[in-house]
Amino acid sequence: MVREPSDWARSRGVVPRWLAREYGGWLNEPAYRAARKLVLVEPFLGGAGAQLPLDYKIYVFGGRAEVVQLHAERGKKHRWTQFDRYWRPLSDDPIDAPPPKTLKAMLGAAEFLAGDRDFLRVDFYEVDDKLWFGEFCLYPGSGLDPFAGDGLDEWLGNSWSRAKSDSLGRKLAD
């Protein structure tokens, strides 16, 4: 994160190390191994002196957005929690946050962008009541991050298994 001109010198020293790493090899994420290495510089959403925006990560299984993972206070006391698509808490320690004003658009965009893939995480930000795309992710937490909440890991795994089964059924029918 470069907020001040003086941060550019520090960033220039870090970027070559990032580019030297083998994408996909470090955490066994094979789909990233063929990714072209480059640096993307974007303007900061929120303006000078603003806090980092809330990060909404939409878990889409078989074309249906099932989970919204909310990340808050990045760069400070990073916390995250999960909600279902209706903004009902799924974790034992939810963050008290209202649903984003763009939740319906977020879910619709995530489902459209994920298409018929068995799984894709689609990330967004909401800044000044506007929806901004963040990134696609094939391997959230490299598949290693546990989810808080009784049975949430299992429920997510079952959602993925159903989506894979449905996808295979569609391919066999074609």
Residue 17: its pLDDT value, please?
87
Question: What is the average per-residue pLDDT within 18-39?
Answer: 82
d(CA 68, CA 47): 25
Give the model confidence (pLDDT) of 147-170 as tens digits: 776 677 788 888 878 877 765 555
Where do the domains of the chain lie?
1-41, 48-173
Q: List the CATH code of the domain at 48-173.
A: 3.30.470
Q: What is the pTM of this model?
A: 0.84
Closest CA to 55 of 3, 113, 131: 131
Q: Which amino acid is at 86?
A: Y
pLDDT tens, 40-93? 878 778 766 678 889 999 999 999 999 999 998 877 788 889 999 999 998 877
Confidence category of residue 132, pLDDT binned at 50, 70, 90 = very high
